[in-house]
Chains A and B, each alone.
Chain A
Amino acid sequence: MKTTILTGVLGAAALGLAASAASAATLDDVKAKGFLQCGVNTGLAGFASPDNAGNWAGFDVDICKAVAAAIFGDATKVKYSPTTAKERFTALQSGEIDLLSRNTTWTLSRDTSLGFNFAGVNYYDGQGFMINAKNLPGVNSALQLSGASVCVQTGTTTELNLADYFRANNMEYNPVVFEKLEEVNAAYDSGRCDVYTTDQSGLYSIRLTLAAPDDHVVLPEIISKEPLGPAVRQGDDQWFDIVKWTLNAMITAEELGITSENVEEMKGSSNPEIKRVLGQEADSKLGASLGLSEDWVVNVIKAVGNYGESFERNIGTGSPLKIARGLNQLWTKGGLMYAPPIR
């Protein structure tokens, strides 16, 4: 009887030691590992949440899948690290994760002193207000909210933005603050305050948990800029480019009408732009210049669909959240989604 125990993985597991990918060439490390380590939210409806089987799904998760598809041609080669708001930056800095796709607001200080690069914006968010239309009939603008009591989570920038907004508009308000999100939800639902304020994307998911969702209206005003996007470490331009252009490719695909269903037909399109994007031109070098295969966009679109498909499936009309495209509409349709040309 011959017994062999392969201790390669075991040794690493036993000590909990694992080589991390903190070196410069993240793409090589990721290829060598065979998977992408992606930091996501610990749970945010529509953006990153587990399904019944425990698989990650959501709008931010799709970015991870898209990058994995661009590199490996296989969207399943991702390992997810659920990170809390405080942990996320350490995790990226220390090389525990290769990519942070966790509804992170792009700010100057994060870009500079924390040492990250934001690869673009995948969701334009902003702080908004929700009211119970039955209790406050006739209110259709945040500027009519003077004297209202406002439910808000304490210790967040949301609280500060709220104070700024009401002071700037010379309005009075009574803040009703809570520590935990569930507490704010319960207080608002039981009528302890007239107004609920948090990021607009959050308001839609909270509305799902209210007793009478149709009575509640999200007001149109957005009082802060929260451009959310995937972030990578500074100092690896190739990796930064891959993530940036994966997102751009999803947006471009929507603009050109390439979907996960018609991507195979589109390969044979006579439109030179589509041919170029899908790597069907004879001497295509676009993929190689990123360090990827020429059909990288095809793989991305097959895996997660174009930007619009991903949006509708996770947070838009195809999901219980039913968030309107709004600012996240393509620039051709009045939104802000604009990708530089792929050529």
Chain B
Amino acid sequence: MQEHDISFVRAEMLANAPPPASERGIVRWLRINMLATPADIVLTLVGLLVVLLIVPPFLNWALFSAVWTGPDRSVCATLAQGGIQPEGWSGACWAFVGAKFEQFMFGRYPIDERWRVMLVAGLFVALLTPLLIPKVPRKGLNAIVFFGVFPIASFFLLVGGIDIEMFPYQETASEQQVTNGVVESLIQDLPKTAYYFDVELPYVETSLWGGLLVTLVLSFVGISVSLPLGIILALGRRSKMPVVKMLCVIFIEAVRGVPLVTVLFMASVMFPLFLPAGVNFDKFLRALVGVSLFASAYMAEVIRGGLQAIPKGQYEGADSLGLGYWQKMNLIVLPQALKLVIPGIVNTFIGLFKDTSLVSIIGMFDLLGIVRQNFSDAAWASPQTPMSGLVFAGFVFWIFCFGMSRYSIFMERRLDTGHKR
């Protein structure tokens, strides 16, 4: 019999050993994602090559060789092109974008009146931000202000043509001074006894609007009209009332059947010929109506897709509870249907946002239009100018579209309670 000499007994568990070096960290990630199979290895190498071929030259062009400031084309042209850059130079001409930046934002909006656009932009951000953050309370009030009061206020601010003269009594004058910062300077110029001020917003015709201002106004109006109108059209198309149904079908199919370019072109070129002499609708208004109706038709079909995805049992359930048509739609059907088609809705919004650049064919200048128009300024014409301008315009469009897209993903996740996988 042999005795077992147990000289060591482990009292506690061993700590977990780290995984082998090949199974952790960047190495593991690379092995799994980049180098798993020979085909993956080839694809990774090709991908690396493409990145190396594109990214450094682009960075060099856009950042390191770029020209940031300058008075005219000479800074963006080589010696042979009549400029100051050495032979073989190639870089972005951000000086062009810098010199024209205000124009890209406001178009030809009078320089002295641009504070009005800035004010509208400030209000827009201040009202939209709390509306987008779910935690902020009082959504209903916020929405009423944003979709009801804000458009009217911005209309008066942007279009102008208002002249308010005030003769406040002396005791209220100081309040006026505080509440209306705009007129402070006017008051100071007047004798202290005569508290009198005059808010004048000169009329700014829409043909002077341009740049990002036009892009945002068009898309804001298009988006806020097309969603409600699209819902109504979609409901109308599924209605059992023959006339309503027929009208909705005709509208949707007629508008979807023609390109946006045609709608805009008809509105701008043909429409004035049908009007009696002396009557002339604002071109911007015509474009706004055209774009909004066009987007509504598409929106209607997106929403109809959502309505069709709701099982019949939901409708019948609502009926059996004794709900009326609008109650059924508001409480049962639409909340589910709209949630389902958020990607489609945002897709239409993004499409609409980018389609606004089509207004340049009717002589209005959205961001892209005014960038391209400025290529014709001989003082800035150089081989680098068009590319720089287009990259800038593309970047601005991308910021807005990417923002909308990310927010839609956030919303989808938040609302996706019933179908979580």
Chain A residues proximal to chain B, CB less than 8 Å: 1-6, 8-10, 12-20, 22-23, 42-46, 48-55, 79-84, 86-87, 90-91, 93-96, 182, 189, 205, 208-214, 319-321
Contact = CB atoms under 8 A, between A and B. Distances in A.
28 contacts: A3-B164, A3-B165, A3-B166, A4-B165, A5-B162, A9-B203, A13-B203, A14-B159, A15-B281, A16-B284, A18-B280, A19-B279, A20-B277, A20-B280, A22-B278, A42-B363, A42-B365, A45-B377, A48-B376, A49-B376, A50-B103, A81-B363, A95-B278, A182-B386, A208-B378, A209-B382, A209-B383, A212-B80
A54 B103 contact: yes
Contacts of B280: 17-20, 94-96
B82 A90 contact: no
Contacts of B339: none
Given A42-B373, A43-B372, A45-B381, A1 B167 contact: yes
Interface stretch (B38-46, B224-232, B267-275, B317-325): B267-275
Interface residues of B, number: 62
Contacts of A16: 281-282, 284-286
B226 to A, nearest CB: 20
Nearest to B369: A42
Contacts of B49: none
Interface of B: 73, 78, 80-82, 99-100, 102-103, 107-108, 111, 159-169, 172, 203, 205, 207, 210, 265, 268-270, 272-273, 275, 277-282, 284-286, 360-363, 365, 372-379, 381-383, 385-386
Nearest to B265: A86
Nearest to A88: B363
A320 B82 contact: yes
A85 to B, nearest CB: 10
B68 to A, nearest CB: 16
B30 to A, nearest CB: 39
Contact of B81 (A12, A86, A94, A213): A213
Contacts of A22: 277-278
Contacts of A9: 161, 203
Contacts of A10: 159, 161-162, 203
A211 B383 contact: yes
A270 to B, nearest CB: 40
A46 B377 CA distance: 7
Which of B102, B269, B381: most chain A Cβ within 10 A?
B381
Contacts of B99: 52
B378 A319 contact: yes
A326 to B, nearest CB: 18
B382 A208 contact: yes
Contacts of A84: 361-363
B373 A90 contact: no
A256 B280 CA distance: 44
B272 A90 contact: yes
B272 A94 contact: yes
A19 B280 CA distance: 7
Contacts of B275: 94
A95 B277 contact: yes
Given A4-B163, A9-B203, 9 more contacts: A1-B167, A2-B167, A19-B278, A42-B360, A45-B378, A49-B373, A94-B273, A208-B378, A210-B383
A59 to B, nearest CB: 11
Contact of B166 (A1, A8, A46, A82): A1
A187 B181 CA distance: 55
A225 B168 CA distance: 67
B112 to A, nearest CB: 12
A55 B102 CA distance: 12
Contacts of B286: 16
A86 B381 contact: no
B278 A205 contact: no
Given A1-B169, A5-B162, A51 B377 contact: yes
A12 B162 CA distance: 12
Given A1-B166, A51-B379, A86 B269 contact: yes
A320 B159 contact: no
Nearest to B289: A16
B269 A87 contact: yes
Which of B163, B269, B378, B379: most chain A Cβ within 10 A?
B378
B273 to A, nearest CB: 6
A148 B166 CA distance: 74
A46 B378 contact: yes
Contact of B80 (A1, A46, A54, A213): A213
Contacts of A189: 383
Given A5-B163, A52-B100, A82 B365 contact: yes
